[in-house]
Amino acid sequence: MPPGLGALLEDPAVEVVFHDADYDLRLLQQDYGWHIRNIFDTRVAAQLLGYTAFGLAALLERFFDVKLDKKHQRADWSMRPLTEDMLDYAAQDTRYLLQLKDHMSSELERMGRTAWAREEFALLEGTRWSEEEPGMSYLRMKGARDLGRRELAVLRELVPWRDTVAGALDRATFRVLGNEQLLDIARSQPQTKEALGKIKGMPRAILEQRGADLLDAVRRALAVPDAELPKFPRAARWDRDPEFDARVSALKTARDAAAKRLVLDPGVLCSRDRLEAVARRNPSTVDELAEVTELRRWQVAELGADFVRALEPHRKKQKATQLPST
């Protein structure tokens, strides 16, 4: 990276504009230790403005009549040198970003949602991958929960192997071997190079150069004693009272009505997990609702009175069921 770039990105006086900043922020923090500040995320802004299509390609077409060629979205960006049309595609990604930000800033101001966006952007500043027990990343792979314990043992061997190879080659992990291929190997547990070659999408270069390593990983997993096979840790469980689901349903009804009024996607306005956090707290006032840490301040301001009102019948019912018998 060019000298001084990190200092520039971390300077709170410099606004840094992204589209869908989450992954970029995680990588910049992980690889360089940078903590990006003063963020403006055009994807988040588009969601808060109620846009139903908020991908960058859709936004560029909407505001600038620019159409990005989708064929490059799945291109091999690790290749060098990049082709001229790939360089042009990459430039298009950022060429209009500052103008797009200006359009959205004006729209947010006009709709009275600038404070919403500022709160969301401020929360992005701490985005990073959470620290987890070493070697446990395989459990987060989509599809891992569908595997049996022996299959999970194979996946446990394969994921760190792929990470190591990707690091040595300085390329993205999916450029080494895709998740689908890893899952297929975990399921089929091939014992020979020929069987490994039958995995759909298996890169020929990986098969020829590293096939033996993959087969060794499978053999190690098959040798694990049954008692030591991996399994998913138990998810945290909440003790739900009998009225919990009813409270969530009441909150959802209030949320959906507010979303319609604000012309917002209900999930953007308040996600299911936040509705459940409110239902667990069961606040009787807006001040109590504000103590629900999962909620944004702008959500409390927009939904507070509606949520408290929606929960009122359930509080009365709960109190009635708790009255001592005479």
Q: Which of 36-50, 81-95, 137-151, 303-317 has the lowest mean pLDDT?
A: 81-95
* Cα–Cα distances in angstroms (integers) from residue 26 to residues 5, 69, 164, 209, in the given order: 16, 27, 19, 31
E-only strand ranges, 189-325 = none
Strand partners of residue 68: none
User: Are both 137-228 and 244-322 of the same fold?
Assistant: yes
pLDDT band of 31, cuts 50, 70, 90: confident
pLDDT band of 141, cuts 50, 70, 90: confident
Are 77 and 154 in contact by the 8 Å Cβ rule? The answer is: no
The one-letter code for the residue type at 47 is Q
The residue among 31 and 258 whose pLDDT is bigger is: 258
Mean pLDDT confidence for 189-203: 93
Does the structure show a pLDDT above 60 at 216?
Answer: yes
The pLDDT of residue 83 is: 86
* Cα–Cα distances in angstroms (integers) from residue 46 to residues 49, 60, 217, 312, in the given order: 5, 12, 45, 34
The pLDDT of residue 16 is: 97
The pLDDT of residue 39 is: 97
The pLDDT of residue 317 is: 61
Q: Which of 39-53, 122-136, 296-310 has the lowest mean pLDDT?
A: 122-136
Percentage of the residues of the chain whose pLDDT score is greater than 70: 89
Are 181 and 199 in contact by the 8 Å Cβ rule? The answer is: yes
**Domain covering 5-124, topology:** Nucleotidyltransferase; domain 5 (3.30.420)
The superfamily (CATH) of domain 244-322 is HRDC domain (1.10.150.80)
Mean pLDDT confidence for 181-196: 95
**What's the CATH code, domain 137-228?**
1.10.150.80
pLDDT one-digit tens code per residue, 44-103: 999 999 999 998 889 999 999 988 776 776 666 667 788 888 888 888 778 899 999 999
The pLDDT of residue 138 is: 87
The pLDDT of residue 233 is: 79
The pLDDT of residue 270 is: 96
For the chain, what are the domain ranges?
5-124, 137-228, 244-322
Max Cα distance, the chain (Å): 84
Residue 141 φ/ψ region, left for φ over 0, alpha for ψ in the -120 to 50 degree band, beta for the rest: beta
Mean pLDDT confidence for 264-286: 94
